[in-house]
Chain A
Amino acid sequence: MSAAENILVRIRVNGEAREALVEPRTLLVDFLRENLNLTGTHIGCDTTYCGACTVLLNGRTVKSCTLFAPMADGGEITTVEGLSTDGALHPVQNAFAECHGLQCGFCTPGLLLSTIHLLKKNPKPSEKQIRKAIAGNTCRCTGYQNILKAIRMAAGEMGKP
């Protein structure tokens, strides 16, 4: 249990170079929340089930509670705080708000990032593909109905020329 030496972790987060000296065992989610004060990424289950901690690492979704911060060193991360442009909501954010795809909002940041990842890979997902894409994101409020609706709406909006 003797403390290992702290190490410097450098990550581009939402387009900005950020760094902090942390214990090697620091989880990525704690690095974001505690060291960078980006509290939009949440912790819900601690065991990689609920996806409240989902962020994009180098364009792919990861559960930031299941990665040590040093594993993301040198990488590019997008969190919910990086989604809007000049204050305007990202189409996925807008679709969730418009479709009432959230209630308490605790799971929402993770779901937004899973959706963005899905629509980037697959702009016209089928119902089954949408469900699969958010299988790792638990929502305890909405019963998923309006989340699915929001993802369909976002796909439609983002698919417009």
Chain B
Amino acid sequence: MAYDGKDKVLEEVTGKSYEFGFTTDIESDKAPPGLNEGIIRLISSKKEEPQWMLDWRLEAFAVWQKMEEPDWPHLQYKKPDYQAICYYAAPKQKKQLGSMDDVDPEMRKTMEKLGISLEEQKRLSGVAVDFVMDSVSVATSFKKKLGELGIIFCSMSEAVKEHPKLIRKYLGSVVPTKDNFFSALNAAVFTDGSFCYIPKGVRCPMELSTYFRINESGTGQFERTLVVADESSYVSYLEGCTAPQRDENQLHAAVVELVALDEAEIKYSTVQNWYPGDAEGKGGVFNFVTKRGICHRRSKISWTQVETGSAVTWKYPSCILKGDHSVGEFYSVAVTNNAQQADTGTKMIHLGKNTHSTIISKGISAGKSHNSYRGLVQIMPSADNARNFSQCDSLLMTDTSGAHTFPYIEVKNPTAKVEHEATTSKIGEDQIFYCLQRGIDEEQAISLIVNGYAKEVLNQLPMEFAVEAQKLLSISLEGSVG
């Protein structure tokens, strides 16, 4: 190869250890490992849930027991032992918090290390953070301000108690419990998550944000997020993840449901940086997430994701375009390094007339990782004049990594216009040569090219998040890229 320097640089990349690998020492209240009806009853009673919620969980559990773990993704991993996982762990501290000062100083330190100090967030960025640590919501800020507008933004357990009507109407309406293996598991054992409701005609004045963090060793994280945007409302929702270093694999099986009623708009952005495992692929998080939104008439759902972490990712944020003139968007950057594996993409299901969808997916594979795009564009007979544009590009950084594309296109309406393009290539040596000629060193040159390559997606992120996303992109490929 013409650039020996690059190999060296790539070695540095693989040598880079996980920066956020620290553990918070907080006593936690933990259920014994294993999964049975008893555990589900325990979770439900710990959370002081009403009977209907328990029934719903038990039904999901019954369905899950009959299901098989899918093996169609282009992934290779040792299937987790679901009986060895602890399904409930909550920080013991239980008293109500009046102000930030009441928060456990250990936990606050953790947040500061993550760069999401609540005070700072409050003052500078105007972001309301619903901070989830090991499944229980500890601090919810800006709640009052949102309350004035009628916006509900709270933890799922609180919502179950205080807004049962909304929860019973929408929970499981987009991702039914029997949708897939992981969604059924999640429905049975989810411990917390976020709920957000934007009333009619309200434009949420700030970006809503949730941080997830797997903390307790050997625990799984099963969040449930539900965002309902009532008619003509708007919300931008951010989700970010970092996890501390652990040797055994940790399971993350979340479900996210979005409901955009007539003329509403939801923008959902994710930066995912769970612990990816070490250079040999030991440890790391299994990220098996079901994300789906339903669009009613003239509404819009936009998914943006920057995926840099997790040992194994299985994730397809999707849109069901049910209403006429609804719009679905999916923007994704997925970076895999070392032994990471990602099988990610989207589904756009067109049911309504004049529905539009756009898919932009950028994959970057380094080390000996494998990065797959798997997508479905389905135009049903009722979807007259549906339109889809898909673009999937892959960038290969090493000759040991892989990039794969599995797009499914199913069209049952003759008025549909569907376009799909995909390319796979490596960074052009002529591009690097051009930069070198102009005094830009190789490391910067690669960084420049990768940033330009991912720009289309990064531009979709809200300002506050774009900075963090770029930071994560750099960490993931540091030494050579970013």
Q: Do A and B belong to a common assembly?
A: no
The interface of chain B, by Cβ under 8 A from chain A, is none
The interface of chain A, by Cβ under 8 A from chain B, is none
